[in-house]
Amino acid sequence: MTITYVCDTSLYINTTNECTNSCDFCVRDHGDELYGNLWLEREPTVDEIIKDVDRALSERDYTEIVFCGYGEPTVRLYDIFSVCRHIREVSDLPIRMNTNGQANLIWKKDVTPDFEGLFDTVSVSLNSPHASEYQSVCHSVYGEEAHASLLDFASKLKKYVPNVVFSVVRDSIPDEDIELSAELAKKLGVKLRVREML
Ligand code: SF4
């Protein structure tokens, strides 16, 4: 079971296969060429995650720790917070989460205050500035409401996390939608990262 893995100089943590989206481009069901198949036969416990993180930290240096995996990390948000508290005790490394931004829908409350002090960066996959287009590609279980919720999540989160970033993938959306995404990010007071397709 692969709980942690290395990408460039970052230590990635894989905690769940579950996700509230079913994106057309998702590789979690079949793995990819870079990392093989990270599908977990079961979800690791908090103790198992901490043990694996400690092992990985003892083996080499990193520049960042990232909660990502192939599922949606916020499905296990409060377990992840427990792991973050441990990391803060044993390491000075910055901590990032890559998320679909639907945590407030998943937990049926505003979870953003609970991020305070635990994350340095949260990257929210915007994918599209349009709710209908987002839903047509990401197929959230929450329908088009997911898009409005991720915007609200990012906007609220910036009060508790120093660096909140929207991400879109170049070539997967039209140039005018990248411009609209930049305007949206500016309006909400977060950054926009236009990343290349892996
Ligand atoms: S949000 Fe991420 S994990 Fe979830 S289906 Fe989309 S690409 Fe896969």
Distance 36 CA to ligand 1 centre (A): 16
Distance 89 CA to ligand 1 centre (A): 30
Residue 186's region, left for phi above 0, alpha for psi from -120 to 50, else beta, is alpha
Distance 27 CA to ligand 1 centre (A): 8
Distance 134 CA to ligand 1 centre (A): 12
CATH number at residue 93: 3.20.20.70
What are the pLDDT digits (tens) for 47-81?
Answer: 999 999 999 999 999 999 999 968 999 999 999 99
Q: Please tell me the total count of domains within the chain.
A: 1
Residue 165's region, left for phi above 0, alpha for psi from -120 to 50, else beta, is beta
180's tokens: 């609209």
Burial pattern 11-26, b for ≥16 Cβ within 10 A else e, equals bbbbbbbbbbbebeee
Domain that holds residue 46: 4-195
What are the pLDDT digits (tens) for 158-191?
Answer: 999 999 999 999 888 899 999 999 999 999 999 9
> Ligand 1 atom closest to Cα of 22?
5
In this structure, the residue with its CA closest to atom 3 of ligand 1 is 71
pTM (predicted TM-score): 0.95
The phi, psi pair for 89, rounded to 5°, reads -75, -30
